[in-house]
Amino acid sequence: MKKIFWLLMLLMTFIMTGCNDSNSKDSVNSNGKIVGVAMPTQLAQRWIQDGDHIKSKLEAKGYTVDLKYAEDNIQTQVNQLREMINSGVSCLVVASIDSTALVEVLEQAKQKNIPVIAYDRLLMDTDSLSYYATFDNKGVGILIGRYIEIALNLKNTDRTFNVEFFAGSPDDNNAHFLNAGVFEVLQPYIDSGKLKVLSGETDFDTICTLRWSRETANARMTKILQTYYRTEKIDAIISPYDGISYGVADALESAGYTVGFDFPIITGQDADLQAIKNIIDGRQSMTIFKDTRQLAEKCVTMVEAVIEGKVPEINDTITYDNHKLIVPSFLCTPVAVDKNNIDSVLIQSGYYTKDEVHN
């Protein structure tokens, strides 16, 4: 009996010590340093992929990852960052909701010597920032503009076309860069009269879409169609994001446009699976593919650099001025996708399977 009692006691002590150990921060740290990854929202497919890729790539290198989504709530993101800082992360990767809203919390990171990497969206007005991993955001806009230029044969035609413009969220630096690219290509055609904007709405503050919201875009498109296109047809809508394109397409269908008959050209960005299906069905014309695997890879090299004293590859040291410093950046290359290159760009690269795209 006595023997059994002592054996049980020994077992209990073993279990309790084990439990304590696995809960302590030391044991987490011994598994690898913790990297906090703050993502804006799970509403858009791309951020889910970004988060997943960063997490798996960092874990493969032995890091522990604290991945959080803030569902487009700025205060939630601030709180998540504060918690990560207090929990002793070794590095922060941040894709912000509002690029100027994190100055204070990032200052706390700096006080604790926690390096910060801006992911896809630049963090503005802060010097608590080491590197920026992104795509060529103006390049995205140029690709969208060129797509319209070619699709409407603007260089050679004498025709005029009715178009309307949408831009992204005003608090997202990317939205401004993208819009600059679009207008760099298309403004000359507006000036020459080949492109007509019946609403007259072309300045960023009027065409921007807070939080890149599908609903806001739908409401604006509906109003524009009701006000300016009662007798005229619209030929193209320049949209900077697949979610906005969905809102635009819904408004067009409600106004009586029919896919495959008189549906206008609609651009987009992100190569969402739904957008790819819409392109195949003729409900959207193109999108911009930003390979989140590649961006995550670049981001991971930056995390390693700041934690382990390595030097990451940088390919831009002049473009991204956040009002405090010019942030050393790596710009990945965006690719325009329409129905002609879905297979070669998205399926052959393994980004989507044939089944996902065609079913």
Report, in Å, the least distance between residue 327 CB and ligand BGC: 15
Minimum CB–partner distance for residue 77 and ligand BGC (Å): 14
Binding of ligand BGC at residue 120 (CB under 6 A)?
A: yes
CA dist 228 → 162, 199, 347 (Å) = 10, 6, 40
Residue 214 touches ligand BGC, criterion: CB under 6 A: no
Among 49, 77, 128, 174, binds ligand BGC (CB under 6 A): 174
Print the binding letters for residues 29-48 with ligand BGC: x by CB under 6 A, - otherwise.
---------------x-x--
Which residue, among 141, 98, 144, 149, has the nearest Cα to 122 in the 3D structure? 98
- Contact window for ligand BGC (CB under 6 A) among 106-114, 153-161, 168-176, 193-201: 168-176
- Least Å distance between CB 150 and ligand BGC? 22
Residue 154 C-beta: closest distance to ligand BGC, Å: 25
**Residue 238 neighbours by CB distance under 10 Å:** 28
Least distance in Å: CB of 120 to ligand BGC?
5
Give the nearest distance from C-beta 319 to ligand BGC in angstroms.
14
Produce one character per residue of 69-91: b if its CB has 16 or more CB atoms within 10 Å, e if not: bbebeeebbbebbeebbeeebbb
Kindly write out the interface string for residues 219-248 of this chain, putting x where it contacts ligand BGC by CB under 6 A and - elsewhere: ----------------------x-------
Among residues 90 and 96, whose Cβ is nearest to ligand BGC?
A: 96
Residue closer to ligand BGC (CB basis): 235 or 272: 272
Residue 166 lies near ligand BGC (rule: CB under 6 A)? no
298 contributes a contact to ligand BGC by CB under 6 A: no
Using rule CB under 6 A, residue 172 touches ligand BGC: yes
Task: Mark the segment that binds ligand BGC (CB under 6 A) among 100-108, 166-174, 245-253, 310-318.
Answer: 166-174
Of residues 305-324, those binding ligand BGC (CB under 6 A): none
State which of residues 270, 271, 329, 332 lies at the interface with ligand BGC (CB under 6 A).
270
Among 162, 202, 269, 301, binds ligand BGC (CB under 6 A): 269
* Positions in the binding site for ligand BGC (CB under 6 A): 44, 46, 120-121, 168, 172, 174, 212, 241, 269-270, 290
